[in-house]
Amino acid sequence: MAKVKTTFFCQSCGAQYAKWQGQCNACKAWNTIAEEVLQKPEKSEWKTPVNQTKRAAKPLKIKDIDVFEEARYDSLDAEFNRVLGGGIVPGSLTLLGGEPGIGKSTLLLQIALKLPYKTLYVSGEESQKQIKMRAERIHLDANNCYILTETKTQRIFKQIEALEPDIVIVDSIQTLHSDYIESSSGSISQIKECTTELIKFAKETATPVILIGHITKDGNIAGPKILEHMVDTVLQFEGDRNHVFRILRAHKNRFGSTNELGIYEMQGSGLREVSNPSEVLISKKDEELSGHVIAATLEGARPLMIEVQALVSTAVYGTPQRSTTGFNAKRLNMLLAVLEKRAGFRLGAKDVFLNITGGITVDDPAIDLAVVAAILSSNEDAPLSHSFCFAAEVGLSGEVRPVQRVEQRILEAEKLGFSTIFVSKYNKISLKNSAIKVELVSKIEDLVDLII
Ligand code: TYD
Ligand code: MG
């Protein structure tokens, strides 16, 4: 009998060792090295039929390479297309990660049903009946979508060869299993092997493959980091499970920008594309409430109006609490210190709570001025007008700093019917005769005078 070959892999970074050790030399994590059985593959699994080979690699002078954009597959989902940079690229491997239950399978099934191309949806997680039931909830008729429930890559490739689909979707990479590796599904060596086989298939036949990946409890895609290096695009599907909004972001994209953002709303009948997010993110109220302020932010190329809510109250315990949802807590502490030092507000003995509504997280520094305004408004219990919005960064000395693409923000605010937008005095604005009043602020002291 042949000797069983085993190797040791770090489960967090994928580094390979000949024998067990306590700490991984590569990523310094403890107790992550585990033994996995493997057999060297004699031959790689995907063998391209001769008639399907679209290109055989040979060196070309760079100036001889065709420069025209390869035609992309239109997914008929504007948000998905935008995040990918304009559609699905032939021969690309896309990895979609996200927490369990966030809606990854729903999103891709919905896209598979809509696609006007022959699509194969391979599921190792659900039965064909379950998928059919889900498809019925989504209410889409599809003639081009094939469902296969299989986890062995060898058998999947056999079906692919027979069906010749234009696009392949795999739910999920952690359930796949290749015969050449004996360790169980989801282990490092299995994930590596299955992905390698899929990459070979995708590149040789120019068929795009979309993979679903599970994430670990600290938010990384389960399996080795090399998985993220191997694929062309890594998308993250995120959101608060108790809220209806879901956000699709690109963490890595070889064919487009990573700044783009897709927003969906989870409904009883699948995910709805949110094409005008500002309108849904701002809660409609008749009364003006203190501490509620609108910020004009940008996510990627898209302006987004976001509601910031602050609550400032006297601390009950000795140590005041600072808590944030959707905003960096360190940034809040910095803004509070600036307010204390530069504008003379005694916030040291106050609890401060800050919340970005809609369950989304904002990194855009242009939200600073809105945060400051919300804190001031709550502290003074003075409601600000609904028709004000803010777009500027705040520096350590209390200076109000310019932000990028301010004109786009002003136009969005104008479109949504705001009467006044507060921006930095140092922003160069060449907009003429706009209906919105642009209030220029240079220090936060000015803001205090203007709004209180
Ligand atoms: P799912 O796609 O199974 O999540 P994942 O694949 O990321 O684990 O999403 C499951 C959740 O979505 C589930 O809790 C129910 C909800 N859902 C709806 O609200 N409406 C729908 O039409 C569908 C299909 C699911
Ligand atoms: Mg799923």
Dump pLDDT digits (tens) for 51-63.
555 555 678 888 7
Specify the pLDDT at position 3: 66
Beta bridge partners of 306: 295
Contact partners, residue 344, CB within 8 Å, separation at least 6: none
DSSP character for 101? T
Residues at CB less than 6 angstroms from ligand 1: 98, 100-106, 134, 137-138, 266, 268-270
Do 279 and 268 form a contact (C-beta atoms < 8 A)? no
DSSP line for 312-374: EEE-SSSSPPEEEESS-HHHHHHHHHHHHHHH----TTEEEEEEEGGG-----GGGHHHHHHH
Q: What is the mean pLDDT of residues 266-290?
A: 80
Specify the pLDDT at position 274: 86
Do 413 and 437 form a contact (C-beta atoms < 8 A)? no
Burial class (CB in 10 A: 0-12, 13-18, 19+), 440: middle
Tens of pLDDT, residues 381-433: 999 888 899 999 999 999 999 999 898 899 888 888 889 999 999 988 877 77
The dihedrals phi and psi of 418, each to the nearest 5 degrees, come to -75, 150
Q: Which atom of ligand 1 is nearest to the CA of 125?
A: 6
109 Cα–ligand 1 center, Å: 11
Specify the pLDDT at position 45: 60
Q: Which atom of ligand 1 is nearest to the CA of 107?
A: 2
288 Cα–ligand 2 center, Å: 42
Task: Output the pTM of the full model.
Answer: 0.75
Question: In this model, does residue 216 exceed pLDDT 80?
Answer: no
By most ligand atoms within 8 Å of CB, the mutation choice from 99, 104, 106 for ligand 1 is: 106
| Dist. CA 78–CA 84, nearest whole Å | 10
Specify the pLDDT at position 105: 94
440 Cα–ligand 2 center, Å: 49
| Dist. CA 306–CA 390, nearest whole Å | 10
Question: In this model, does residue 68 exceed pLDDT 70?
Answer: no
| Dist. CA 270–CA 264, nearest whole Å | 10
DSSP character for 64? G
Burial 85-104 (b: 16+ CB within 10 A, else e): bebbbbbbbbbbbbbeebbb
Q: Six-digit token pair at 156?
A: 């999947």
Specify the pLDDT at position 223: 66
Question: In this model, does residue 272 exceed pLDDT 70?
Answer: yes
Q: What is the mean pLDDT of residues 318-328?
A: 90
267 Cα–ligand 1 center, Å: 9
Q: What is the mean pLDDT of residues 217-244?
A: 79
DSSP line for 361-417: ----GGGHHHHHHHHHHHHHT-PPPTTEEEE-EE-TTSBEEP-TTHHHHHHHHHHTT
The dihedrals phi and psi of 324, each to the nearest 5 degrees, come to -130, 150
Ligand in closest contact with the CA of 175: 2
166 Cα–ligand 2 center, Å: 22
- Residue 382 to residues 193, 303, 340, 345, Cα–Cα distance (Å): 61, 28, 18, 15
Determine if the peptide bond prior to 172 is cis (ω within 30°).
Answer: yes
What band does 219 get if pLDDT is binned at 50, 70 and 90?
A: low
Atom 14 (ligand 1) nearest CA: 101
The dihedrals phi and psi of 212, each to the nearest 5 degrees, come to -100, 135
Contact partners, residue 67, CB within 8 Å, separation at least 6: none
Instruction: Quickly tell me which residue has 């892999």 as its tokens.
Output: 9
Question: In this model, does residue 69 exceed pLDDT 70?
Answer: no
